[in-house]
Structure 1
Amino acid sequence: MNISGIHHAAIIASDYPRSRRFYTEVLGLEIVAEVYRAQRDSYKLDLRLPDGAQIELFSFPSPPPRVSRPEACGLRHLAFSVPDLEAAVQSLRHHGIEPEPVRVDEYTGKKFTFFADPDDLPLELYEA
């Protein structure tokens, strides 16, 4: 096996229009494709990050809530790399999102912070 990277991460939203706005307008991700799947009463929105990786944003009728944040078994959080953490934090604040205090990774010396999407999914910004 020769894995070359992460292709996509999939996220299920409880309020599709709200999450669509968050990921496109607040985080600025590019829309690749959007389809409505009538047989599932579900939207699927493909979003591209600048490095080519993607996020698939889904809607489903009445999805169950996340078990706990962030220590439930499974995906812990999704981290985005940013060139300037302070600028990214200011952008979040401009949109009314208050991230956690900035911390420094004790092993790499890099700055990072956490914030949440509209469904309280933990997201991280990591200064690259």
Structure 2
Amino acid sequence: MGIRRSVGVAGAALVMTATGAALAPSASAAQSDCPRSYVCVWDNSDFSGEPRWKSQGNLSNLRSTTGMSIVNNGTSDPGADHIYWRVTWSGGQWATGCLHFPPDSNAHRFTGGGTITMNSAVWGGEC
């Protein structure tokens, strides 16, 4: 999974690409709280409790001040089984990425101060 970030530096944009993402130990346990064929988003960065948002469709404009966690618990459906996400932090930084469906890497967490907005979580084809 690739992540693209934009961080403002003295009026200019710096773009960084990071590969791979460590999952919280509780990410796989969180899958049990996310129904099969759904994308689920938690209002925290540690997948704890019930997901605040869950859908078999696309999600947009989700906001949290305590971090976010996302799980793609989808099933194989060529052209529509991966989740493309975009988040923005209140400071203007943003990141994009794509989550596979299980058993591949299918979860990510977002931390940082201020408000985090998940601009979109959209179903699509292969990452």
TM over 0.5, shorter chain: no
TM range (shorter): under 0.3
| Larger RCO (CA within 8 A; separation ≥ 6) | 2
Higher normalized strand content (fraction of residues): 2
Q: Which has the larger radius of gyration?
A: 1
Query: Structure 2 length normalisation: TM-score?
Result: 0.23
